[in-house]
Copies of this chain bind each other. A is one copy, B any other.
Amino acid sequence: MVTRLSHFFLRTLREDPADAEVTSHRLLVRAGYIRRQAPGVFAWLPLGLRVKAKIEQIIRDEMGAAGAYEVHFPALLPREPYEVTGRWEEYGDALFRLQDRKGADYLLAPTHEEVFTLLVKDLYSSYKDLPLTIYQIQDKYRDEARPRAGLLRGREFTMKDAYSFDYTDAGLDASYQAQRDAYERIFQRLGLEYVIVQADAGAMGGSRSEEFLHPTPVGEDTFVRSAGGYAANVEAFTTVVPDALPIEGLPEPVIFDSPETPTIATLVEHVNTHLDGEYTAADTLKNVVFALTHLDGTRELVVVGLPGDRDVDDKRVEVAFAPASVEPATEADFAANPLLVKGYIGPWSPTGAILGEESATGIRYVLDPRVVDGTSWITGANIDQKHVHSLVAGRDFAADGFVEVASVREGDPAPDGSGPVSLARGMEIGHVFQLGRKYADALGLKVLDENGKLVTVTMGSYGIGVTRILAIIAELNNDDRGLIWPTSVAPFDVHVVAAGRDAAAFELAASLSAELETAGLDVLYDDRPKVSPGVKFGDAELIGVPRIVIVGRGAAEGMVEVWDRRTGERETVPAGDVRGILTA
């Protein structure tokens, strides 16, 4: 059935919405695709729903081709399974929690690992039932602290989430690869450029983890890549650890006066003036104090030592200490630990270690992996206005462990030896992830193997943000006049505009629309009788159906214009040729 604009539920807007921060949000609202209901919560209007359905169908096709079966879980789930895996607490404020009339706890699910695991446990018991991959396309909830950028970061959003179940590691690898391949096909069909980067397995546990990022300067994720093929997001990047150096014969530590040098820059200037030699920030050891809050609510101070030419990267810090939350130490923390002299902190003093679990303060001390044994450093002496030089790692101080929190720089060597990395930005569009046995262990999902032995199932988790992808496609496909949809997801295949004032144009436009619909195209027909051609063209450009057919002055002679929305090219052709052109 031809959709006629005179009846269709659509109102395009002249003004940008006041709260739109990004192009996709601005255009999707103006062109009548979505409408805000609450912060990060949107209603889908008919045009938007059509695009969303097309994206979902592409995903369904490829999931089916990958041997995955569709199921559908409720958004409203009981607390218990999430309690067992710890996520009821771990999710913190990002989880929407509620109670029913009897006071039982529920949540609006942000992802469904727990209940998929329990479902399979409920129904399957033998290795013969595996491998299995099941998925859903479903509305999820996350109470973002700052919902923003329209659909790019909403609080209610649609995701395809798939979960695989295997009883061997090799099986998991195969299931993982099948989903990874399906994702490549999905993004190719959607016309979305992507980079597959290593991602941190993080708080989810598990082993292999890769993100599909769409590279764009406005992306909120940073990733690194080498010419030799390495790619990772910054959280997953690992430092190439230099070899340890011989300690024997190195000079002993020397405390020196360093008035007014609480920063690395002032310290480097000071030592270059007052000590022999040429120093840079890389010769100094910076000590940064963090306060962690653990899941059980306890607070712990941790000091990180890293070369003074590196900053800490907030995202890497977050991942390194997860599931604890991290903030910089406060004045109160320093007041409570008088042995820490702010601006002059260091791990060592002539009377013994200051940092470390075995030290005077008992504060955990962790190092950047570059601080290998035998390296010599200028750092704080834990005395106001004094530093120490020739402090040697592995001789004068040691750490409770190593931690990857230093910022990654252009030119840093890729961990796989494939050369120096460059930095780029991207938006996450998918994530494939080996959960391993974490959820199956927690929830008791085991099957009998070939030998009749109970083995724990190993799982993968695979997510695509449907509404996010829609927004990214809109973000990438527009010009100053409006949206320009790729053919694969356009709300209609063709937009026919009756642009004349005489009946002939309307008659031809109507019959042409009917003919195109019969040929299997989805047709939007602008049949509004009293709207000027200029307004109709403006609406057509804003809505962004990739091919527009204008039936105007030439209608009496049977001539129409075929307009390519993307290139702007218009071609006058006989109406009888349109069907052939559009279905070619």
A35 touches B100 (CB 8 A): no
Say how far A582's CB is from chain B's closest CB, in angstroms. 22
Q: Does A206 lie at the interface of the complex (its beta carbon under 8 Å from any beta carbon of B)? A: no
List the B side residues contacting A281 at CB < 8 Å: none
Cross-chain contact of A41 among B43, B76, B134, B156 (Cβ < 8 A): B76
A71 CB contact (under 8 Å) in B45, B74, B143: B45
Contacts of A119 in B (CB 8 A): 35, 43
A106 interface residue per 8 A CB criterion: yes
Residues of B within 8 A of A70 (CB): 46, 49
Chain B residues, CB < 8 A from A145: 101
Asked whether A96 and B123 contact (CB < 8 A) given A45-B71, A46-B71, A71-B44, the answer is: no
- A383 at the binding interface (Cβ < 8 Å): no
With A76-B155, A119-B43, A155-B76 in contact, do A98 and B100 touch (Cβ < 8 Å)? no
- The answer to the question of A139 belonging to the interface, with a C-beta cut-off of 8 Å to chain B, is yes
121-166 of chain A: CB within 8 A of chain B: 122-124, 129, 132, 134, 139, 141, 143, 145, 155-156
Contact count band on A: 35 or more
Q: Is the CB of B37 within 8 A of A78?
A: yes
Contacts of A155 in B (CB 8 A): 76, 100
0/1 per residue, A56-77, Cβ < 8 Å to B? 0000000011010111111111
Q: Is A100 a contact partner of B96 (Cβ separation < 8 A)?
A: yes
Question: Which of A7-15, A355-363, A364-372 faces chain B?
Answer: A7-15
Please state if B98 and A98 are interface contacts (CB–CB under 8 Å): yes
Q: Does A535 interact with chain B (Cβ within 8 Å)?
A: no
Cβ of A97 within 8 Å of any chain B Cβ, yes or no, is yes
| Bound complex: CA A257 to CA B119 (Å) | 70
A132 CA / B45 CA spacing, docked (Å): 13
Q: Within 8 Å of chain B (Cβ to Cβ): is A454?
A: no
Q: Assembly of this chain: how many copies?
A: 2
B49 touches A101 (CB 8 A): no
Asked whether, in the complex, the Cβ of B101 is within 8 Å of the Cβ of A93, the reply is yes
Q: Chain B residues near A240 (CB, 8 Å)?
A: none
CA of A78 to CA of B38, assembled, Å = 7
- The distance in angstroms between the C-alpha atoms of A207 and B377, with both chains bound, is 85
- Is residue A312 within 8 Å, beta carbon to beta carbon, of the partner chain? no
A93's nearest neighbour on chain B, judged by CB, is: B101
A38 CA to B67 CA in the complex, in Å?
A: 29
Contacts A132-B9, A134-B9 known; A76 to B38 CB distance under 8 Å?
Answer: yes
- The answer to the question of A115 belonging to the interface, with a C-beta cut-off of 8 Å to chain B, is yes
Q: Which residues from 358 to 408 on chain A have a C-beta closer than 8 Å to any C-beta of chain B?
A: none
A473 at the interface (CB under 8 A from B): no
Q: Is the CB of B71 within 8 A of A49?
A: yes
A1 within 8 A of B: yes
Alpha-carbon gap, A72 to B37, bound state (A): 12
* Nearest neighbor of A8 in chain B, beta-carbon distance: B69
Distance to closest chain B CB from A5 (angstroms)? 12
| Bound-complex Cα distance A70 to B65 (A) | 29
A89 to B: closest C-beta gap in Å = 15
With contacts A7-B67, A11-B124 known, is A72 near B49, CB below 8 A? yes
The 0/1 profile, CB within 8 Å of B marked 1, for residues 469-494 of chain A is 00000000000000000000000000
B143 touches A100 (CB 8 A): yes
In the complex, A139→B11 CA distance in Å?
A: 26
Q: Determine if A292 is an interface residue (Cβ-Cβ < 8 Å).
A: no
User: In chain A, residues 258-314, which have Cβ atoms closer than 8 Å to a Cβ of chain B?
Assistant: none
On chain B, the residues within 8 Å of A321 by CB distance are none
CA distance A77 to B15 in the complex (A): 25
Most buried by B among A42, A43, A124: A43
Nearest chain B CB to A16 CB, angstrom units: 15
With a cutoff of 8 Å between Cβ atoms, the chain B residues found around residue A1 in the complex are 64-65
**Is A108 an interface position by the 8 A CB rule?**
yes
A77, B37: Cβ atoms closer than 8 Å: yes
Do A97 and B96 touch (CB < 8 A)? no
Q: How far is it, in angstroms, between the C-alpha of A108 and the C-alpha of B108 when the chains are bound?
A: 10
- A74 adjacent to B122 (CB under 8 Å): no
CB distance from A137 to the nearest CB of B (A): 10
Residue in chain B with minimal CB distance to A94: B101
Q: Do A72 and B96 have beta carbons less than 8 Å apart?
A: no
A54 to B115, CA, bound (A): 25
Return chain B residues, CB-CB under 8 Å to A139. 74-75, 139
Binding site for B on A (CB under 8 A): 1, 7-9, 11, 32, 35, 37-38, 41-46, 49, 52, 64-65, 67, 69-78, 93-94, 96-98, 100-101, 106, 108, 115, 119, 122-124, 129, 132, 134, 139, 141, 143, 145, 155-156
- Given pairs A37-B115, A76-B155, 5 additional interface contacts (CB within 8 A): A9-B132, A41-B77, A76-B108, A76-B156, A139-B139
Please name 8 pairs of A and B residues whose Cβ atoms are closer than 8 Å in the assembled complex, sorted by A.
A9-B69, A11-B124, A37-B73, A38-B78, A38-B106, A41-B76, A44-B73, A96-B100
Closest 8 CB pairs of A and B: A98-B98, A11-B123, A44-B72, A93-B101, A9-B69, A38-B78, A46-B69, A43-B73
